[in-house]
């Protein structure tokens, strides 16, 4: 009896597509991949989800889903083995905070580098045009290369990443890689001996960064531990995960540098964003982040929604009698409950 097959719609330069593709392969879920085109962008993605964003996963029962974290949650429920979440709620809650950091903060570094460096921008305009025009009759490649990137580029300053402060964003890359290397020097994966959803989130972003001319230099000249982790995760995805459960990280002090980086950047911004919205949301939010970076951006309701979800997750842990790992508890609560 054949295994039911999912349909996955992706783009070649989408970090969330890379994240879910790797995740599905690791989970041994059967799927057929379709590259988004100018046709399926509207006839499938928008028609089925109301949005034109990838990835979109269509189940064998014809249910359409988007948002990589929501897709992963649904697949984890349907296909619990191999597990990509920890049964230990303490380390799992922490890992999911890191997953959100990768999804929502590292993407800003990737987009700034991609679209503010000429060679990277030219490469990605071609990648987008190739995907959008693939297999379509009489669709102008050059027109697609000109018309699609501006919509993406215009969204980046709204995230607080501008050509003027781009170097502040790029300065985070060696800090992130070094922090990852600390834990990966002692652990196979970021939060334990098997991949967690957080690993796939970090992988999606770093895989896209290293595909661009500028980012390639950053990643390949970075810590060997991170490069080895990338290879290890890709091999695990190619072979499929084991039914044997991994073990969560024993020495959580190893995660402290990465947790600190996430808390003093993304989560500090998230709290400041919520305060700005609470005071009317008309003035830009301004907050000093790690490294003396003076962050400024329009307040965003989407970021408030994510912060509320993260706070609810942490509160649920403590309400149930649990708590975050002692090694990072003050780092997390010091920012989230500031």
Instruction: Give the domain CATH number at 64.
Output: 3.40.30.10
User: Are 280 and 254 within one domain?
Assistant: yes
> Poorest-confidence range of 42-51, 56-65, 236-245, 302-311?
236-245
For residue 275, give the 3-state DSSP assignment.
Answer: helix
pLDDT class of 143 with cuts at 50, 70, 90: confident
Whether the Cβ atoms of residue 66 and residue 56 lie closer than 8 Å to each other: yes
User: Are 171 and 67 within one domain?
Assistant: no
Q: What is the mean pLDDT of the chain?
A: 96
Number of domains the chain is built from: 2
Task: Please write the tens of the pLDDT for every residue from 261-280.
Answer: 999 999 999 999 999 999 99
What residues form DSSP beta bridges with 65?
A: 57
User: Are 69 and 15 within one domain?
Assistant: yes
Residue 222 falls inside a structural domain: yes
**φ, ψ for residue 124, nearest 5 deg:** -75, -30
Q: Which long-range contacts (CB under 8 A, 24 or more apart) does 274-279 make?
A: 274/303, 274/304, 274/307, 277/301, 277/304
User: Are 278 and 331 within one domain?
Assistant: yes
What residues form DSSP beta bridges with 10?
A: 35
The percent of residues above 70 in pLDDT, for the chain, comes to 99
Q: For strands 31-35 and 6-10, give the pairing.
A: parallel
User: Are 253 and 224 within one domain?
Assistant: yes
CA distances, 44 to each of 18, 37, 50, 53, 57 (Å): 20, 10, 9, 11, 11
Task: Please write the tens of the pLDDT for every residue from 49-106.
Answer: 999 999 999 999 999 999 999 999 999 999 999 999 999 999 999 999 999 999 999 9
The percent of residues above 90 in pLDDT, for the chain, comes to 91
d(CA 303, CA 197): 20
User: Are 170 and 296 within one domain?
Assistant: yes
Residue 145 falls inside a structural domain: no
User: Are 278 and 216 within one domain?
Assistant: yes
User: Are 309 and 168 within one domain?
Assistant: yes
What residues form DSSP beta bridges with 56?
A: 9, 66
Among residues 77, 53, 159, 62, the alpha carbon closest in space to that of 114 is found at 159
Residue 137 falls inside a structural domain: no
Residue 83 falls inside a structural domain: no
d(CA 293, CA 290): 6
Residue 180 falls inside a structural domain: yes
d(CA 182, CA 180): 5
Domain extent for 14: 6-78
Compute the 3-state secondary structure of the chain and give helix, strand, coil in percent, each to the nearest 5. 60, 10, 30
DSSP 284: P
User: Are 15 and 98 within one domain?
Assistant: no
User: Are 56 and 96 within one domain?
Assistant: no
Q: What is the pLDDT of residue 135?
A: 79
């Amino acid at each position: 009896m054949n295994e039911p097959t999912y349909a996955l719609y992706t783009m070649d330069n989408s970090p969330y597509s890379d994240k879910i593709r790797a995740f599905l392969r690791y989970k041994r879920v059967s799927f057929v991949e379709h590259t988004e085109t100018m046709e399926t962008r509207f006839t499938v993605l928008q028609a089925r989800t109301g949005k034109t964003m990838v990835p979109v996963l269509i189940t064998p029962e014809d249910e359409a889903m988007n948002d990589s974290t929501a897709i992963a949650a649904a697949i984890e429920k349907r296909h619990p083995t191999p597990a990509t979440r920890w049964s230990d709620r303490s380390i799992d809650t922490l890992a999911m905070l890191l997953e959100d950091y990768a999804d929502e903060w590292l993407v800003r570094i990737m987009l700034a580098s991609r679209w503010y460096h000429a060679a990277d921008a030219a490469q990605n305009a071609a990648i987008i045009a190739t995907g959008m025009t693939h297999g379509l009759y009489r669709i102008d490649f050059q027109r697609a290369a000109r018309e699609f990137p501006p919509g993406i580029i215009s969204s980046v300053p709204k995230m607080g990443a501008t050509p003027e402060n781009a170097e502040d964003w790029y300065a985070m890359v060696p800090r992130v890689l070094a922090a990852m290397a600390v834990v990966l020097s002692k652990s196979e994966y970021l939060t334990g001996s098997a991949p967690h959803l957080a690993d796939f989130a970090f992988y999606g972003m770093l895989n896209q960064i290293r595909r661009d001319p500028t980012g390639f230099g950053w990643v390949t000249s970075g810590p060997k531990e991170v490069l080895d982790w990338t290879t290890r995760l890709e091999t695990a995805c190619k072979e499929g995960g084991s039914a044997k459960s991994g073990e969560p990280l024993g020495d959580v002090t190893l995660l402290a540098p990465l947790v600190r980086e996430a808390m003093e950047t993304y989560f500090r911004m998230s709290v400041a964003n919520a305060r700005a919205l609470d005071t009317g949301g008309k003035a830009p939010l301004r907050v000093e982040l790690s490294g003396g970076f003076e962050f400024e951006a329009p307040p965003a309701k989407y970021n408030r929604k994510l912060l509320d979800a993260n706070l609810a997750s942490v509160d649920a842990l403590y309400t149930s009698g649990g708590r975050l790992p002692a090694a990072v508890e003050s780092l997390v609560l010091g920012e989230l409950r500031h």
